[in-house]
Amino acid sequence: MTSPAHAPSPSLPRWDGHVHSEYAPHGSPSATEAFLQHAAALGFTRVTLAEHAPLPDGFSDPTPEHDGNLDADRLEPYLRHAAEVRERWRGRLEVLVGLEIDLLPGHEDHARILVERHAAVLDEVVASLHLLPLGRGEWGSTDYSPETFAESARRCGSVAALRRRYLETLAEQIDRDAGAPLPRRLGHPLLIDKFQRLFPSMDPLEDSLAEAVVAAAADRGWSLDLNAAGLRKPHCGTLYLRGPMLTAARRLAVPVVYGSDAHRPDEVGAGWSEAVTEFEKAGYAARRSPGPDRLS
């Protein structure tokens, strides 16, 4: 098992820290090798494979197609596959074996047990919030579709209230981290903005709430996913980490790792130039180099 360096850097590491694989339940059927070949061609030196972990036993996925996560019987094959890929690419591209695990209030033991059970093969964990409790045992989606988002906002009272609950839940879940001995990265921290062009929301508390998330990450030693997938979403058009949240990360020395969130080989490295620009705009030192930042 490798040990990825999570020390803050004045420049953005040439590392795509959020890449899916041929095991993605809702991605491209392309071979994982194609994802890594694209990364290497762009000049990346490190890639983290982070497939969606299974949801807890008995948990009812509220999304219509139930295709967001690996089935439980696919987890072991994915981990074996990722470990084999890691070995095959050794010396050419550093491949880290990761899992993208859902932050689910009330199900923290599920995440802890998953990590502990597979710690021998895992290099790191990307922890993401896709589903929110809406009361009475029901859950809503933050990013599945405009329709499911609208229903979640209606249940919360407004789009602004849903966004507040999302940010508050992020901070609470990071604070409840059990501290397992694996690096943690908060996946796409502003995923809640995926449909912002359809559902604009202005809330004067948002900056302070965003900073509270970063402060929790600093306290727990987490890094943040400078996730570029939002640039590819027609109703978003922005990075899923930016503005006051990224500025707070610089001020609190929270490590930041670029992530394409690629579900297809040609998405690896997408949005790198925009990520570097946002990184520098937040006050990090500019130090451009040849390689992936010549493409987006």
Is 295 within a domain?
no
Q: pLDDT of 92-144, one tens digit each?
A: 999 999 999 999 999 988 888 999 999 999 999 999 999 999 888 889 999 99
The reported pLDDT for the residue numbered 76 is 97
Check if the beta carbon of residue 233 is closer than 8 Å to that of residue 194: yes
Q: Answer yes or no: is pLDDT of 24 > 60.
A: yes
The reported pLDDT for the residue numbered 177 is 78
Is 224 within a domain?
yes
Structurally, how many domains does the chain consist of?
1
The helix or strand, by DSSP H or E, that contains position 246, with its residue range, turns out to be helix 243-251
Is 294 within a domain?
no
Pairing mode, strands 15-19 and 138-141: unpaired
Q: pLDDT of 201-242, one tens digit each?
A: 756 556 889 899 999 999 999 999 999 999 999 999 999 999
Residue span of the structural domain in which 54 resides:
15-289
Distances in Å between the Cα of 222 and the Cα atoms of 117, 193, 218, 248, 264 are 20, 22, 6, 14, 27
CA angle, 173 as apex, 169 and 179 as ends, to 5°?
Answer: 170
Higher pLDDT, 207 or 190: 190
Q: Answer yes or no: is pLDDT of 9 > 70.
A: no
How deeply is 57 buried, as exposed, middle or buried, from its count of CB atoms within 10 A (0-12, 13-18, 19+)?
A: exposed
Check if the beta carbon of residue 46 is closer than 8 Å to that of residue 4: yes
Is 296 within a domain?
no
The reported pLDDT for the residue numbered 29 is 81
Average pLDDT of the chain? 88
Assign residue 103 the CATH number of its domain: 3.20.20.140
At 170, list the tokens: 């992020």
Rounded to a whole number of angstroms, the CA Rg of the chain reads: 18
Is 8 within a domain?
no
Q: pLDDT of 57-93, one tens digit each?
A: 988 787 776 667 889 999 999 999 999 999 999 999 9
Contacts of 169 (CB under 8 A, 6+ apart): 103, 105, 129, 132
Q: Answer yes or no: is pLDDT of 272 > 90.
A: yes
